[in-house]
Amino acid sequence: MPDERHEDHQDDDDIVTQQPLELPRQIEAWREFFELNKEYLTALHDQLRAGKPWIEVAFADLARHSPEMAEMLMEQPEEILKAGQVAIEKMDMPTSSEQARERVEIRVHSLPREQCMLIRDIRSKHLNTFVQLDGIVRQKSDVRPQVTSARFECPSCGNIIPVLQLDTKFKEPSRCGCGRKGKFKMLSKEMVDAQSITLEESPENLDGGEQPKRMKILLKKDLVSPMSDKKTNPGSMITIVGIIKEVPIVLQTGGQSTRFDLIIEANAVLTVQQDFTEILLDPEDEREIQELSQDPDLFEKFVASIAPSIYGHEFIKQALILQLFGGVHKSRDAGVKSRGDIHVLLIGDPGAGKSVFLKRISSVAPKARFVAGKGASGAGLTAAVVKDDFLRGWALEAGALVLANRGICCIDELDKMTKEDTSAMHEALEQQSISIAKANIQATLRCETTVLAAANPKFGRFDPYEMISKQIDLPPALLSRFDLIFPVRDIPDAGKDEKLASFILTLHKEKGGKEGIIDPKKMRKYIAYARQRCVPQLTESAVEEIKNYFVKMRGGGTDGKEQAIKPIPITARQLEALVRLAEASARMRLSEKVTKQDSQRAIELVHYCLQQIGMDPETGQFDMDRVTTGISASQRSHISIVKDIIQALERDVGKNIPIDDIVREASIKGIAEDTANEVIEKLKRAGDIYSPKHGFVSRV
């Protein structure tokens, strides 16, 4: 037995003697790496002179220099990175007195593919290893200081005891060499800035319907500097390189749970180029795209491919194609921006295929989010402030519109959302930003998102004898922000119904379902290419065409008739919509110039929408007020006439005015009895008049 014990002891000695040999070798390898790679040495000098104590190192360069050290970095990252810090300390570097206290951080990026993981695949065997993750920032806490080490003095013997603070709980020394226990005096503590963010898996990596998994990331030191802070705003797409650590869970009883939480201590944060898409195109794809763009029937092919399982609705399909390509974002002097995104609203009868359009667009668009009315709140769409458990504070969480930044957000059942929730969308649709001021967090998030929304009419189905604009039960302020509003009507028609029935039944008979001329993958690549490469400019002929249409529509408001209040047939918002649609049409052809034909296509779409929604049946003229304010110009004219009648009668008959007298006077001025009664009801609801007794009204 004693022999065995002696052998065990000897093995321990061997391990102890091996360890120091290992460390000097690592330090030496790092020193050689910096000395042999002159560009890193120069970068290190430049960084330290600029007062930035960190250096970025590509993993491939490290593996080329020392494969065994690169391998060890994957398994024992903390040890290898500390050796690198020691190596830099031993080299003769220009440092200020302030920097002399802190070590130079080595930030490793571009790990091999084997180390790139999905959050859902992380297991206990990966603890304390080096990994690379891609994802979208969902939450972000405030920056708070965190203690890394503290120095204590023993009151009995004056001994100085340094204690490293690696755990979440602050540690004091348990005893001193002189035998004293407890009550030590703290001399100093070293602190670093820390911040926690929550990373969510990218929607591109998920199969349909999967719940994206999340992971807490801890950022320290230069990773939370004001410059790096912009990288990690909620909604940003980032790549994290870091070490997986476990965090003990403390139970309510005060004991420690057998379960542990996971957190990743970030070593490097890289921004993924967040263009319209993260799709990479090879030369073969580019050649195919260029070939396709030369096709004279390109637009017709796209329209036929956008939703091949839906019969008809040609204008809606055209609008959706142009929406996917989008107009051009413009930033003018003094920071004024004008949006390029085209917002489309589909309002229609149940079973008319609105949701199919939305689902199809969310699968074709390279970056899309799909949300539905009752399941979406204002905070879920824009941004929310939530409690942060890890650093004990408040954190900002991005909603669907922010996460779909530079992409498309499909909102179904818009009419089922509450007024408070839809009002949260106003700023996102027009200003393309989300401002939030809650629980001491004031932030503005970017939200360059295209919105495609669908809703049902006020009573579930359109009434064929009532005006369409009266049946849209959405706030006028929200409606006016949509460039195109389409009513999707389901009206019985023998010839049409026969074609529709045979189309749907043929669809069910075929096994694979109907496919478009251009398959969705190719379409997605084409759209991504167009949005990345093409910035079309308006030509003189295109400008002239749009201007003539606008002036003609505005001038055609009265038809030479005298009217109390003139209808506004088209507003500046529609003018901007025309420009965006024309730019999208040019972008679809991969053209750098917006031609007269592009303008005509845009005018055709806008005119179709105005005919459907903005026509006043009383006058037969276009009236945009009907949509944007909910009251047409003719109604407004009637209201002002009835108000004048009430004022005049008050002088003649006194305070209480008989309703019959008002109706009689109104009919003399050409207002029908029904209309006059409707106007009186409107004025009552607005609080301008009240009814003191039956059959009489009084001014307030």
pLDDT of residue 242: 93
Enumerate the β-bridge partners of residue 58: 109
Q: Which has more confidence, 565 or 582?
A: 582
Q: What mean pLDDT is predicted for residues 316-327?
A: 88
CATH number of 283-613: 3.40.50.300
Q: Report if pTM > 0.75.
A: no
Classify each residue of 615-633 as buried b or exposed e, where b means 16 or more C-beta atoms within 10 Å of its C-beta: bbebbebbbbbbbbbbebb
The fold adopted by the segment(s) 631-699 is Arc Repressor Mutant, subunit A (1.10.10)
Most confident listed range (7-11, 83-87, 274-278, 487-491):
83-87
Classify each residue of 547-583 as buried b or exposed e, where b means 16 or more C-beta atoms within 10 Å of its C-beta: eebbeebeeebeeeeeeebbbbbbbeebbebbbbbbb
d(CA 122, CA 625): 56
3-state secondary structure of 245: strand
pLDDT of residue 560: 43
d(CA 646, CA 59): 83
Q: What is the mean pLDDT of the chain?
A: 79
Please, which pLDDT band fits residue 618 given cuts at 50, 70 and 90? Answer: low
Q: What is the pLDDT of residues 364-385, one digit of tens each?
A: 887 778 888 777 776 778 888 8
pLDDT of residue 561: 44
Most confident listed range (204-213, 390-399, 539-548):
539-548
d(CA 358, CA 360): 5
What is the domain partition of the chain in residue ranges?
A: 20-109, 113-271, 283-613, 631-699
d(CA 254, CA 258): 13
What single DSSP character describes residue 91? Answer: S
Q: What is the pLDDT of residues 164-178, one digit of tens each?
A: 776 667 888 888 878
Q: What mean pLDDT is predicted for residues 445-451?
A: 86
In a 13 Å sphere around the CA of 146, the CA atoms on its Cβ side amount to: 22
DSSP string, 492-559: --HHHHHHHHHHHHHHHHSSS----SS-HHHHHHHHHHHHHH---EE-HHHHHHHHHHHHHHHHTTST
∠ CA 358-359-363, rounded to 5°? 115
Please, which pLDDT band fits residue 99 given cuts at 50, 70 and 90? Answer: very low
Is the Cβ–Cβ distance between 116 and 211 less than 8 Å?
no
Is the Cβ–Cβ distance between 475 and 423 less than 8 Å?
yes
Q: Is the pLDDT of residue 95 over 60?
A: no
pLDDT of residue 275: 46
DSSP string, 546-596: HHHHHHHHHHTTSTT---SS------HHHHHHHHHHHHHHHHHTT-SEE-H
Q: Is the pLDDT of residue 107 over 70?
A: yes
pLDDT of residue 131: 92
Is the Cβ–Cβ distance between 172 and 149 less than 8 Å?
no
β-pair type (408-412, 368-372)? parallel
What's the order of all strands across the beta sheet hosting 408-412?
Answer: 368-372, 408-412, 450-455, 344-348, 484-488
Q: What mean pLDDT is predicted for residues 467-490?
A: 79
Please, which pLDDT band fits residue 210 given cuts at 50, 70 and 90? Answer: low
Locus of tokens 């779909």: 404
Quick count: other Cβ atoms within 10 Å of Cβ 310?
20
**CATH number, domain 20-109, options 3.20.20.10, 3.40.50.2000, 3.40.190.10, 3.30.1640.10:** 3.30.1640.10
d(CA 386, CA 234): 13
Cβ contacts of 314 within 8 Å, gap of 6 or more: 303
d(CA 493, CA 496): 5
d(CA 311, CA 660): 52
d(CA 463, CA 66): 76
pLDDT of residue 469: 67
Cβ contacts of 411 within 8 Å, gap of 6 or more: 371, 372, 373, 376, 381, 451, 452, 453, 454
Is the Cβ–Cβ distance between 301 and 517 less than 8 Å?
yes
β-pair type (256-271, 214-220)? parallel
d(CA 482, CA 468): 16
| pLDDT above 90 as % of the chain | 5
pLDDT of residue 335: 66
Q: What is the pLDDT of residues 3-36, one digit of tens each?
A: 444 444 444 444 333 333 378 888 888 888 888 8
pLDDT of residue 20: 35
Q: What mean pLDDT is predicted for residues 238-264?
A: 86
Q: What mean pLDDT is predicted for residues 653-679?
A: 83
Radius of gyration for the chain, computed over Cα atoms and rounded to the nearest angstrom: 34
Enumerate the β-bridge partners of residue 408: 368, 450
Q: What is the pLDDT of residues 548-572, one digit of tens each?
A: 888 888 775 444 444 445 556 677 7
pLDDT of residue 10: 43
Q: What mean pLDDT is predicted for residues 115-120?
A: 86
Which H or E run includes 153?
Answer: strand 144-153
Enumerate the β-bridge partners of residue 538: 594
d(CA 551, CA 570): 9
Per-residue tokens: 178: 């002189």
Least confident of 76-90, 418-432, 573-587: 418-432
Please, which pLDDT band fits residue 240 given cuts at 50, 70 and 90? Answer: very high
pLDDT of residue 625: 59
Angle between helices 314-325 and 596-613 (to 10 degrees): 130
Written out in words, the top-level CATH class of the domain with range 113-271 is mainly beta
Q: What mean pLDDT is predicted for residues 641-652?
A: 84
d(CA 209, CA 211): 7
d(CA 376, CA 373): 5
Is the Cβ–Cβ distance between 417 and 380 less than 8 Å?
no
Q: What is the pLDDT of residues 32-89, one digit of tens each?
A: 888 888 888 888 888 888 888 889 899 989 898 888 888 888 888 988 998 888 888 8
d(CA 188, CA 167): 18
| pLDDT above 70 as % of the chain | 85
Is the Cβ–Cβ distance between 172 and 185 less than 8 Å?
no
Cβ contacts of 439 within 8 Å, gap of 6 or more: 385, 394
Q: Which has more confidence, 621 or 231?
A: 231
Per-residue tokens: 268: 């490097």
3-state secondary structure of 619: coil
pLDDT of residue 516: 65
